[in-house]
Copies of this chain bind each other. A is one copy, B any other.
Amino acid sequence: MTTDDGISSRRTTIYDLARIVGTSPTAVSSVLNGSWKKRRISQKLADRVLSAAEENGYALNIQASVLRREKSNIVGMIIPKYDNRFFGAIAERFEEAARAEGLFPVITCTQRDPDLEVEAVRGLLSYQVDCLVACGATNPDHIAELCAANGVATINLDLPGGRAPSIISDSYSGALDLTNVILDACEQELGSRAPLIFIGGRLDDHNTKERRRGFLDAHAARGIEVPEDNVLMPGYAPEKARAVLEGMATRARGIFVNSTITLEGVVQWMQSLPPAEAAGMRYGSFDYDPFGALLPQNVGMVEQDVPSLIAALVARMGDLPNAQIDVTKVPCILRLPHITPAA
């Protein structure tokens, strides 16, 4: 809608269209939102309204619409980062799946900052979200309480909580498999049965705890004892990983890397070693990265199955809010290196 002098005026509303077509706002509204048959509006009037809407570039005012309705059809998600293959994929797939369900997704990135998380949740509640997905949240239960206070159901993704259904990767099984792959490679290619090194993450992180458990159980099943200081959890930062590895007196032949972020530090460290020494090492990582997969010492990567996680999430969103509080574990995908033709 543009005034004569070319300066754009207010947006077109159903009242404008009603005046143009010569009918009531109610009729216009019902035509535009699809309830016109139920309301016994004639096809003729509907056509006139639709073409007037088209001509005037009408766009619904969601604020007004949602304000009046009881359901908003808006689903919220908080996510720690976008700048990361895993979470980036989660965000993309979630948007896609939500749209396919006729819902409107709104995602907010929280930088793993607990205060920002709470602020973001409040923000999403302001949008009258019908349901909120707490992905990788530092304190899922606090978020669940906040939402419950507003009558909004939540689902936890990636990290579990005790006050809402959770959908997470099966870190334990993934770690067990990955550890076995690395142990096999060390034994077959290097002739070593030494315990592996586990590096990355924090013990207060549920997923790290589970992966550590899988790591230790795989060793135990082979009767290999893991010295306590083979498990290094200095956080995820590459520099920390590198520093820890450089400070180690005994060097293992095989390394279990707990994330691709940590892997950067591991690879930097390996590249600083004499090539002969580096050649005698193997690693696997919990998280997939296409370049990390191409490095010669890589023997396998565990990739979280994002499409399945989202599928499970959407299935769960269907029967909220009277859902059970339980944990759904989605298997990971083990990606072995491409066999490249030897020179």
A interface residues, Cβ below 8 angstroms from B: 1-2, 8-12, 56-57, 59-67, 72, 81-85, 87-89, 91-92, 95-96, 104-109, 111, 122-123, 125-128, 146, 148-151, 238, 263-264, 267-268, 271-276, 289-292, 294-295, 338, 340-341, 343
Secondary structure dominating the interface of A: mixed
Q: Say whether B151 contacts A9, CB under 8 Å.
A: yes
> In the bound complex, what is the Cα–Cα distance between A271 and B271 (angstroms)?
17
Separation in Å of the A29 CB from the closest CB of chain B? 14
Residues of B within 8 A of A91 (CB): 82-83, 109
A146 touches B57 (CB 8 A): yes
Chain B residues whose CB sits within 8 angstroms of the CB of A60 once the complex forms: 122, 126
- A57/B150 contact (C-beta < 8 A), A107-B107, A291-B295, A341-B272 known: yes
Q: Are B63 and A127 in contact (CB under 8 A)?
A: yes
Contacts of A340 in B (CB 8 A): 268, 271-272
What residues of chain B lie closer than 8 Å to A263, measured between beta carbons? 291
Q: Which residue on B lies nearest to A290, using beta carbons?
A: B264
- A271 contacts across to B, CB distance below 8 A: 294, 340
Bound together, the chains give a CA A11 to CA B150 distance in angstroms of 5
CB distance from A40 to the nearest CB of B (A): 27
Question: Is A126 in contact with B1, judged by CB distance below 8 angstroms?
Answer: no
10 CB contacts below 8 A, A to B, read A59-B150, A60-B122, A62-B127, A65-B126, A82-B89, A104-B123, A268-B338, A271-B294, A276-B343, A294-B295
Docked complex Cα distance between A9 and B150 (Å): 8
* A119 to B, closest residue via Cβ: B99
Contact A63–B104 (Cβ < 8 Å) = no
A104-B123, A267-B291, A292-B291 given as contacts; is B83 within 8 A of A109 (CB)?
no
* Other-chain contact of A148, B8, B89, B109 (Cβ < 8 Å): B8
Cβ of A216 to closest chain B Cβ, rounded Å: 28
- List of B residues within 8 angstroms of A8 by Cβ: 148-151
Chain B residues with CB below 8 A from A9, complex form: 151
Q: Is the CB of B122 within 8 A of A95?
A: no
Contact in complex: B151, A59 (CB < 8 Å): no
Task: List 5 additional A-B contacts (Cβ < 8 Å) besides A61-B126, A83-B88, A267-B294.
Answer: A67-B67, A271-B294, A272-B340, A275-B343, A291-B294
